Structure 1
Amino acid sequence: MSKVKRGARADGEATRARILEAAGELFACAGFAETTSKAIATRAGADLASINYHFGGRDGLYQAVLVEAHRRLVDVATLQRIAQGSPSARDRLRRLIEHLVQSISDDAGDWRLTVLAAEILAPSSHIQVLFQSEVPQKLSLVLAMFEEITGIPAQDPALLRCLLSVAAPCLVLLIGRRGLPGPLQEIRQMPQEAIVEHLHEFAMAGLQAIGRKTVQAQSE
């Protein structure tokens, strides 16, 4: 009996994975609005009932695709390794930027980052799932790093503004995966090391400047 249960569970997980992969590929190609459940089921070699069973419908499936895409960009385990990898917050920030740039630049045909870029460029209500499941723990790890660099307490709104400044260039690189014309494509052709070095130095200078300004204002 237990062997049957394990086999059924494995089959179910395999079906779920096929559906997720098929949906991601189609969402990346045609977008959420133009992708039907029938097309996803056909591509996955599954029936429509399987989509409802594993994801609760097309909306739930799209949200699962977004979560997988966000994890593909950076997952909690990777952030934890970076956070524990060096006693120097400066070095940890560089490693984080290096990881993001490499994730964005590699695997040009990866549907996960293509879907995530499209959602960021034109957010839908489904993006809320990321703020419910993926963002909170990752955010706390990054803010702790910024707090160490700037001396600004994690609960201070100034630290969130720092997050915006550091994250924005990486988001622009991610959106650039969609082939938008202009200088962004020239930047994407530059060596990764040069991009990482620039973003790191720019981020450190900004964080340290805001840190000095904020601490000085609080002491007055």
Structure 2
Amino acid sequence: MKKEKTVANKETKSLIINCAGRLIAKYGYANVTSKSICKEAKVNMAAINYHFGSRDGLYRAVLKETHDFLISVSELNKLHLSDITAKEKIEVFIDIFIERLSNKKNWYLKVWAREIVNPSPFITQILSKKTLLKLNIVAKIFSEYTKLPITDLKLYSCILSTVSPFALAFLAHDTFELLPVKFSEKELAAHTKEVVLAGLDKFREAQS
């Protein structure tokens, strides 16, 4: 019975987060009320306080899930510890971002885009807890390929130059169909890998 209640609670929390995420992506956090979220999720008004403590607590949960959607710690750990080559790890890293970018049916990118344009006080809490942990794993992946030591500033320049275009793309992903050049997810991934690896190879060769 207790196990069934735990499962039900998790399902309800997930439902509320997804409903809140969709509404916030469309209207912005400031314009979405607890009442509208509960109506969308078909739960009573006490549900938000019960599961998240407050409306702000719910938004922190939305941002946490958004941050994990972009790329999670478990995904990075699995990639870092995998048996594939260092080059393949970089390629898979890029594939993950391209796949997320190409997923137009989710609300995560729109929520993230709103935070980039107009950051809330909550985003720093999420970033401080998650980003450093993710960066440490990414640094190991990039260090394995470039041969740059973890303590070398150039390694983090490599990471930043790889990830920054995706941050911009997440912001403008809704306008891709307006571009004069049409491309598939596969074509975008192949071109991105070519550009990223060409840059990383310069540092790799310098370490040889």
Q: Does TM-score exceed 0.5, indicating one fold?
A: yes
1:203 aligns with 196
1:82 aligns with 79
Q: How does 1:12-27 map to 2 (within 5 A)?
A: 12-27=9-24
Q: Please tell me the residue identity of whatever aligns with 1:196.
A: A
How many Å separate the matches in 2 of 1:49 and 1:155?
Answer: 49
Q: Please tell me the residue identity of whatever aligns with 1:30.
A: Y
Size of the aligned set, in residue pairs, is 208
Matched, 1:143 2:139: yes
Structure 1 gap segments, 5+ residues each? none
1:171 aligns with 167
State the Cα distance separating 1:187 from its structure 2 match: 7.8
How many Å separate the matches in 1 of 2:15 and 2:101?
Answer: 24
Is the Cα–Cα contact under 8 Å of residues 144 and 154 in structure 1 kept in the other structure? yes
Q: Give TM-score, length-normalised by structure 1.
A: 0.83
* 2:27 paired residue among 27, 30, 40: 30
After superposition, the Cα gap between the structure-2 partners of 1:197 and 1:7, relative to the gap in structure 1 and judged at 3 Å, is closer
* 2:153 paired residue among 157, 178, 190: 157
How many Å separate the matches in 1 of 2:44 and 2:102?
Answer: 35
2:128 aligns with 132
State the Cα distance separating 1:51 from its structure 2 match: 0.9
2:36 aligns with 39
Report the identity percentage.
Answer: 31
Q: Please tell me the root mean square deviation across aligned C-alpha atoms, in Å.
A: 2.4
Q: Give TM-score, length-normalised by structure 2.
A: 0.87
State the Cα distance separating 1:30 from its structure 2 match: 0.3
After superposition, the Cα gap between the structure-2 partners of 1:185 and 1:147, relative to the gap in structure 1 and judged at 3 Å, is farther
